[in-house]
Amino acid sequence: MLNGSLINSKLPQVGTTIFTIMSKLASEHNAINLSQGFPDYSCSQELVELIHKKMLAGNNQYAPMQGLLSLREAISKKMGLVYEKKYDAETEITITAGATQAIFTAISTIVSPGDEVIIFEPAYDCYAPAIELFGGKVVPVTLQFPNYTINWQEVASLINTKTRAIIINNPNNPSSSVFTKKDLLQLENIVRNTDIVIISDEVYEHLIFDGAEHQSIANFKGLAERSFVVFSFGKTYHATGWKIGYCIAPKELMNEFRKIHQFNVFCVNNPIQQALAEYVEKAEEYLSLPNFFQEKRDFFVDKLIGSRFTIYPSRGTYFQLLGYEKISNENDVVFAERLIKEFKIASIPLSVFYNKKEDNKVLRFCFAKKNETLLRAAEILKSI
């Protein structure tokens, strides 16, 4: 007999993520799944074969705790090529089990009970629970609908002695907006002369469209010196199932990050790291991504012309937002569920990314799909 409950939940408000719920519902109803952010086409066969080769060559035991040095060196080189700051492979780069673990570990490294952390909503869903788990208080700032821009004056007004960190996500999931240079300069200005740490989620660094340039934290000295910057190989190489990414930060921050990293994962997949150490050198692979995804976005949007959905601009990521205010008054979760059950198409309702469940009648559709999938999806959406 137990003397009461074994569980005193640390996250009483948290249920199963919307991504799991919508993907499950999509599969139960045999619906086209544009909900979760992953491709339905295969990743590079050359990369798969390279990993296989590395496995056959016997690279099947633990990798070093910080990640393979050759991979960290390749990342350091890439950072110098693509951005203005080259990070030290030895002390400033750690390979992680996806961006999710990097973000969780960065939050755990800096957030203590009572600390406040500013996030921007709609927000990717892994930030708030991690902040709360370590006793922090989430301070949300709402991106201004419909362009999802930031009111930096509001951000400045929320800064106080308890503000420990600001989490940004650029290009932004789910809003598909991107930060301008002016945004980053405003942020740099706001945190100057404070001890605020930035966690910058840049998993969609290469998914940016219409000729815009990704404004990485790494390009802003006053931000880079206080930031954990997080990337995902899963997003860059169309292989979300591998769950491998990396975090970069100045030595002092990275040193503390690694103290926690070594006890929550120790190290990540060795043969994949071995293969990526070579594959990251192929700049054309990631430099071709803006065009590759812009073509998909344009294909999907073009096929939607004439539909009753409002098409919002998608400036980055592989998501397209569609408004259904001309079609229904229903709450967005109810409407998204109805789309799956009645029309066999799955999306993500945007209200789930807000603490207060703000409902602008907007759904998020992932266009990292084969053109035939996008065509079938667009035909369904046009019929609604």
Ligand X SMILES: Cc1ncc(COP(=O)(O)O)c(C=O)c1O
Task: Point out which residues bind ligand X (CB under 6 A).
Answer: 37, 98-100, 124, 169, 173, 201, 203, 232, 234, 240, 243, 245
Q: Name residue 56's amino acid.
A: L
Residue with the shortest CB distance to ligand X: 98
First to last CA, the chain: 55
Distance in Å, CB of 333 to ligand X, minimum: 19
What number of other Cβ atoms are within 10 A of residue 287's Cβ? 12
Distance in Å, CB of 382 to ligand X, minimum: 27
- Return the structure tokens found at 97: 């089990």
CA distances from 320 to 178, 265, 314, 338 (A): 13, 34, 6, 19
Distance in Å, CB of 6 to ligand X, minimum: 29
Which of 170/307 has CB closer to ligand X?
Answer: 170
| Cα–Cα distance measured from residue 99 to residue 245, given in angstroms and rounded to the nearest whole number | 5
Which of 101/163 has CB closer to ligand X?
Answer: 101
| Cα–Cα distance measured from residue 174 to residue 307, given in angstroms and rounded to the nearest whole number | 22
Distance in Å, CB of 246 to ligand X, minimum: 10
What number of other Cβ atoms are within 10 A of residue 258's Cβ? 18
Which of 116/202 has CB closer to ligand X?
Answer: 202
Distance in Å, CB of 215 to ligand X, minimum: 16
Where helices occur in the chain by DSSP H, the ranges are 18-28, 45-56, 69-82, 98-110, 127-133, 152-158, 181-191, 221-224, 233-236, 251-264, 270-279, 283-287, 289-304, 332-343, 371-382
Which of 26/307 has CB closer to ligand X?
Answer: 26
| Cα–Cα distance measured from residue 50 to residue 54, given in angstroms and rounded to the nearest whole number | 6
| Cα–Cα distance measured from residue 101 to residue 86, given in angstroms and rounded to the nearest whole number | 23
Which of 100/307 has CB closer to ligand X?
Answer: 100
User: In 3D, which of 209, 203, 359, 343 has the Cα closest to residue 289?
Assistant: 209
| Cα–Cα distance measured from residue 360 to residue 221, given in angstroms and rounded to the nearest whole number | 37
Which of 300/353 has CB closer to ligand X?
Answer: 353
365 class by beta-carbon count within 10 Å (0-12 exposed, 13-18 middle, 19+ buried): buried
Which of 121/201 has CB closer to ligand X?
Answer: 201
Distance in Å, CB of 114 to ligand X, minimum: 26
Which of 37/271 has CB closer to ligand X?
Answer: 37
Which of 106/218 has CB closer to ligand X?
Answer: 106
Distance in Å, CB of 295 to ligand X, minimum: 21
Distance in Å, CB of 249 to ligand X, minimum: 16
Distance in Å, CB of 97 to ligand X, minimum: 8
Q: Name residue 61's amino acid.
A: Q
Distance in Å, CB of 214 to ligand X, minimum: 14
Contact 87, 216 (CB under 8 A): no
- Return the structure tokens found at 130: 């991690």
Which of 240/347 has CB closer to ligand X?
Answer: 240
CA distances from 379 to 32, 295, 382 (A): 12, 18, 5
DSSP code of 88?
P
